[in-house]
Chain A
Amino acid sequence: MSLLSIRNLNLSIHGTPILAGVSLEIARGQIIAVTGESGSGKSMTAFSVMGLLPKGAETTGEILLGNGTKAATGRRRHPGRDSPAGQSAKTDILQMSETQLCDLRGNEIGMVFQEPMTALNPVQTIGAQVAETIRLHRDSSKAEAREQAAQTLARVGLPESRFPLSRYPHELSGGQRQRVVIAMAIACGPRLLIADEPTTALDVTTQAQILDLLKELTEEDQMGLLMITHDLAVVANMARHIVVMRKGQVVEQNDTRTLLSQMQHPYTKALFEASSHQVDLPETRAETPLLQVQDVCRDYRLPRKTLFGRPGHFRAVDDVSFDIAKGERVGLVGESGCGKSTLTRAILGLENVEAGRITLDGAPVFSGGRPNLNVRRKMQVVFQDPFGSFNPRHRVDRLITEPFHLLERQPSAQEWQARIAESLMAVGLSPDDARKYPHQFSGGQRQRIAIARALIIRPELVIFDEAVSALDVSVRAQILDLIADLCRQYALTYLFISHDLSVVRSVTDRVLVMQAGRIVEQGDTEAVFTNPNHTYTRSLIKAAPVLPAMVSS
């Protein structure tokens, strides 16, 4: 008997169809994954189950929440619970009143979100936020709720001894915050847990831990878990059943084993291919050194402990040395906080370093207390966030010609136009797109614009700073293909910074592994991945999700 069954769910918002005929079933203790690219309707399916749809939403069909099997475990169950959903065997969520839905959310159905950095209220302690769920649905006193919140937080790996309930969200890391969000979702022992891209914003090692935690909790509490993700590799090893969605419809669903071995729909195949996408990188000969980083250290000042005490220092980059030769494609991997971004800023000459030298073509990147412009014009960077890195009020032509100000000689008006058209075409856009605004493009297209901006002055070195991390797998595969293509056309030299190992593996010749400010391992990409020497590299590779080998395509 199933716990949740969605039957022929149709959803339209202000008349625009969003979901068409979505059906799926979840039983108690089961993990079901819904996958598809952005805009496929997977999140909207989840919000329909939560009854948290935006204004103007109209639904038809049924979302039935039942008791599942009767094998309820005693530990998290509360004898006095009575809720509208609990009284009858099955209730249609779509027919519930708002009051009934409020009783349902957080109580019968818990939800975990994608962005742990912003999912918690910054002005309330984590204890208060977890206890709130309990107080909302249980008749417990403040002290009881607090006690239960402490227990729940301990269950998700935040024991009170190390993480007091009085901590505020900003005092925790992304992974820890996600644990708090999970604690809030499971505090009342819901029957169903919905996790919407719960690990997309986290780095590999944290992702693996959070996935393990979700799996464990599902098993212990015999909950149903509805996992939403764009990356099949993430769920291939944990979900029992996979639902593939596209444009609001379920194109294929089957139990994981069958789906992986005999997928039918071309879209499913494309998704699988994208998840472990390998690009065809042209051969290159790397001889003359371009970027040289020698014994670089970068410190940050910590706040003073006492009013007149000396401020402490935190060494973010510790004695790092490496070279990048002309034409070489180098990857830099490491988890968040390892010093990748600090190193990037130092290479771009945005900050001075405490020790060591960074030179490009023999000239220092930072000189006389400011970035060396002669060097700066030879480097360009592509950032992670395709939404935040453009001024929304500028048109594309203005955005991508911004690097021109670095040049000594400004191009003539004619050349200016020609360069715009050329770089837009190089990244697979049309010259007509020059007069559009960034909001008129999708995330993948914006990242193309960002690459066009970086390439327009033909830099010698391009830095891709997590440039594909915010994109979903299918778009990511396209951008990686574009990068390989550009390598063929322009013989690019780049430093590719990412926490995603599979991506780094496919687009780099050489890789640097960074941990706690140090480069712990470097070498040819294939050699490092097939035969890692350092334990940290090994743990990174082990944590990275991979599609099982049984994929037939």
Chain B
Amino acid sequence: MLRYTLKRLISLIISLAVTSLVIFFVIEIAPGDPASLMLGVNAQPDTLAALRAELGLDVPKWQRYLNWVGGMLVGDFGTSYQYRTPVAEMIGNRLWVSLPLALYALALSTLIAFPAGIFAAARRGGPGDVAIMSATQLGVAIPNFWFAMMLVLIFAINLRWFSAGGFAGWDNGFFAAMKSLTLPAIALAMPQAAILARVMRSALLDVLSEDYMRTARAKGLSARRALWRHGLRNAMIPVLTILGLQFSFLLAGGIIIEQVFFLPGLGRLIFQSISARDLIVVESVTMLLVFAVIVVNFAVDLAYAAVDPRLRQRS
């Protein structure tokens, strides 16, 4: 297990190094000069040069890459070209919205999907299964921004249980903040839960037809206990894979939902920065998201090994 972890860790570091290179150069290659964008079309060449020097754009590309990576390692993400504030601070503020939102949505989706998937698998072909499968079909099909707007219409405008948008801020207390994240989290979680429930169901159905499930029944376990004790853990591998992918998506992909609910999250930050050619912010946020995705994958890999002893030995 230790060797397995070590190996995963090494591959994590290599992935990070490679992706940082790719991100930096892809974004640098994209046309558009932040200095000229900031100063407008009529800027004097010497002013431009001065600003470039100030932003650190006048040194060779490889040196800028090293400065960028070296800075990130010590928590210095540079200064936004547009707002002239430290990028780390900007990301920090946004992360406090996006991360809780992603976790909230993930928790909701898991809490809905697991029981639904297990229930449907245990009653395969029955009315409960059909109902759940139809519901998930719908959940996958409905666009989440439309669903988000429906939520706003019903719960914010008609029932007035929640506010229609904006973020209350953590300073106003945990519950106020969580409350303002609830509708967005539900909107994000719904399609994810639908997918996850379907994966859970099909993974369990695969496992239920395995020989060892019959062995479990022959031992005297009831169908339900056999499912819980022998089925669930064996069905976890595909479910964990989807769960890992979903978390990554929720962290970065909430951009539309953030727009609908006017949430100051990472998605909106990256969107605004791209429009403003605030390259350093784009690079840093992308890198952060990649980092998150890679770390989540690492965690999923460890979870695989925890679930399945056969993976611990395979190199």
Evaluate contact between A303 and B315: CB separation under 8 angstroms: yes
B232 nearest CB neighbor, chain A only: A123
Q: Which of B135-143, B177-185, B195-203, B206-214 contacts A (4 or more CB under 8 A)?
A: B206-214
Bound Cα distance A105, B214 (Å): 11
Q: Answer whether A185 and B218 are a contact pair too, CB < 8 Å, given A119-B212, A120-B212.
A: yes
Q: Is A170 an interface residue (CB 8 A)?
A: yes
Bound Cα distance A111, B215 (Å): 8
CB distance from A426 to the nearest CB of B (A): 36
CB distance from B273 to the nearest CB of A (A): 42
Evaluate contact between A52 and B214: CB separation under 8 angstroms: yes
Q: Which of B16-24, B101-109, B163-171, B219-227 contacts A (4 or more CB under 8 A)?
A: B219-227
Q: Is A261 an interface residue (CB 8 A)?
A: no
Evaluate contact between B218 and A168: CB separation under 8 angstroms: no
Q: Answer whether A120 and B221 are a contact pair too, CB < 8 Å, given A132-B229, A170-B310.
A: no
Bound Cα distance A381, B313 (Å): 33
Which one of A50, A121, A136 has the greatest number of beta carbons of chain B within 10 Å? A121
Evaluate contact between A119 and B220: CB separation under 8 angstroms: no
Q: Is A113 an interface residue (CB 8 A)?
A: yes
Q: Answer whether A122 and B220 are a contact pair too, CB < 8 Å, given A52-B214, A113-B215, A307-B3.
A: no
Q: Answer whether A119 and B309 are a contact pair too, CB < 8 Å, given A137-B220, A304-B315.
A: no
**Cβ–Cβ < 8 Å partners of B315 in chain A:** 303-304
Q: CB within 8 Å of B: which of A95-127?
A: 98-99, 102-107, 110-111, 113, 115, 118-124
Bound Cα distance A185, B313 (Å): 29
Q: Is A181 an interface residue (CB 8 A)?
A: yes
Q: Is A133 an interface residue (CB 8 A)?
A: yes
Which one of B219, B233, B234, B308 has the greatest number of beta carbons of chain A within 10 Å? B219
Bound Cα distance A118, B217 (Å): 14
Bound Cα distance A115, B229 (Å): 21
**Cβ–Cβ < 8 Å partners of A52 in chain B:** 214, 217-218
CB distance from A179 to the nearest CB of B (A): 14
Q: Answer whether A118 and B310 are a contact pair too, CB < 8 Å, given A123-B234, A133-B220, A303-B315.
A: no
Bound Cα distance A122, B233 (Å): 10
Q: CB within 8 Å of A: which of B284-315?
A: 307-310, 313, 315
Q: CB within 8 Å of B: which of A135-176?
A: 136-137, 168, 170
B3 nearest CB neighbor, chain A only: A307
Number of interface residues of B (CB under 8 A): 24
Bound Cα distance A361, B280 (Å): 67
Evaluate contact between B218 and A111: CB separation under 8 angstroms: yes
Which one of A50, A105, A110 has the greatest number of beta carbons of chain B within 10 Å? A105
Bound Cα distance A368, B309 (Å): 39
Q: Is A184 an interface residue (CB 8 A)?
A: yes
Evaluate contact between B3 and A118: CB separation under 8 angstroms: no
Q: Is B216 an interface residue (CB 8 A)?
A: yes
Bound Cα distance A133, B215 (Å): 11
Q: Is B230 an interface residue (CB 8 A)?
A: yes
Which one of B211, B220, B221, B310 has the greatest number of beta carbons of chain A within 10 Å? B220
Which residue in A113, A124, A307 is a CB contact (below 8 Å) of B211?
A113
CB distance from B39 to the nearest CB of A (A): 54
Which one of B218, B221, B234, B307 has the greatest number of beta carbons of chain A within 10 Å? B218
Evaluate contact between A121 and B219: CB separation under 8 angstroms: no
**Cβ–Cβ < 8 Å partners of A119 in chain B:** 211-212, 214-215
**Cβ–Cβ < 8 Å partners of B214 in chain A:** 52, 113, 119
Evaluate contact between A120 and B215: CB separation under 8 angstroms: yes
CB distance from A6 to the nearest CB of B (A): 18
Q: Answer whether A136 and B211 are a contact pair too, CB < 8 Å, given A123-B233, A303-B315, A307-B3.
A: no
Evaluate contact between B219 and A105: CB separation under 8 angstroms: yes
Bound Cα distance A185, B220 (Å): 10
**Cβ–Cβ < 8 Å partners of A170 in chain B:** 309-310
Q: Answer whether A136 and B219 are a contact pair too, CB < 8 Å, given A121-B230, A304-B315.
A: yes
Evaluate contact between B218 and A105: CB separation under 8 angstroms: yes
Evaluate contact between B222 and A102: CB separation under 8 angstroms: yes
Q: CB within 8 Å of A: which of B221-246?
A: 221-222, 229-230, 233-234
CB distance from A120 to the nearest CB of B (A): 6
> Interface readout for A331-375 with B: 1 if CB under 8 Å, 0 if not?
000000000000000000000000000000000000000000000
Bound Cα distance A52, B226 (Å): 13
**Cβ–Cβ < 8 Å partners of A120 in chain B:** 212, 215
Q: CB within 8 Å of B: which of A416-446?
A: none
B6 nearest CB neighbor, chain A only: A307
**Cβ–Cβ < 8 Å partners of A103 in chain B:** 220
CB distance from A104 to the nearest CB of B (A): 7
**Cβ–Cβ < 8 Å partners of B234 in chain A:** 121-123
Evaluate contact between B217 and A123: CB separation under 8 angstroms: no
Bound Cα distance A52, B309 (Å): 30
Q: CB within 8 Å of B: which of A70-108?
A: 98-99, 102-107
**Cβ–Cβ < 8 Å partners of A121 in chain B:** 212, 215-216, 230, 234
CB distance from B231 to the nearest CB of A (A): 9
**Cβ–Cβ < 8 Å partners of B313 in chain A:** 303
A50 nearest CB neighbor, chain B only: B218
Evaluate contact between A123 and B307: CB separation under 8 angstroms: yes
**Cβ–Cβ < 8 Å partners of B217 in chain A:** 52, 105
Q: CB within 8 Å of B: which of A185-206?
A: 185
CB distance from B272 to the nearest CB of A (A): 46
Bound Cα distance A466, B117 (Å): 41
B212 nearest CB neighbor, chain A only: A121
Bound Cα distance A115, B196 (Å): 32
B306 nearest CB neighbor, chain A only: A123
**Cβ–Cβ < 8 Å partners of A184 in chain B:** 215, 219
Bound Cα distance A42, B221 (Å): 24
Which one of B212, B234, B307 has the greatest number of beta carbons of chain A within 10 Å? B212
Which residue in A105, A123, A304 is a CB contact (below 8 Å) of B308?
A123
A116 nearest CB neighbor, chain B only: B211
Evaluate contact between A122 and B309: CB separation under 8 angstroms: yes
Bound Cα distance A421, B212 (Å): 42
Q: Answer whether A115 and B211 are a contact pair too, CB < 8 Å, given A123-B308, A303-B315.
A: yes
Which residue in B211, B219, B233, B309 is a CB contact (below 8 Å) of A118?
B211
Bound Cα distance A406, B315 (Å): 36
Evaluate contact between B308 and A122: CB separation under 8 angstroms: yes
Bound Cα distance A104, B229 (Å): 19
Bound Cα distance A107, B219 (Å): 7
CB distance from A116 to the nearest CB of B (A): 9
**Cβ–Cβ < 8 Å partners of A304 in chain B:** 315
Q: Answer whether A122 and B310 are a contact pair too, CB < 8 Å, given A136-B221, A181-B215.
A: yes
B307 nearest CB neighbor, chain A only: A123
- Starting from the known contacts A132-B219, A184-B219, 9 additional A-B residue pairs (CB-CB under 8 Å) come to A102-B220, A103-B220, A121-B230, A122-B212, A123-B308, A123-B309, A133-B219, A168-B310, A303-B313
The 6 A-B residue pairs with the shortest CB-CB distance in the complex, in nearest-first order: A106-B220, A106-B219, A118-B211, A105-B220, A111-B218, A121-B212
Binding site for A on B (CB under 8 A): 3, 6, 210-212, 214-222, 229-230, 233-234, 307-310, 313, 315
Identify 9 residue pairs between A and B in the complex whose beta-carbon atoms are under 8 Å apart, listed by A's number.
Answer: A105-B220, A113-B211, A113-B214, A118-B211, A122-B212, A123-B308, A124-B230, A136-B219, A185-B218
Binding site for B on A (CB under 8 A): 50, 52, 98-99, 102-107, 110-111, 113, 115, 118-124, 132-133, 136-137, 168, 170, 181, 184-185, 303-304, 307
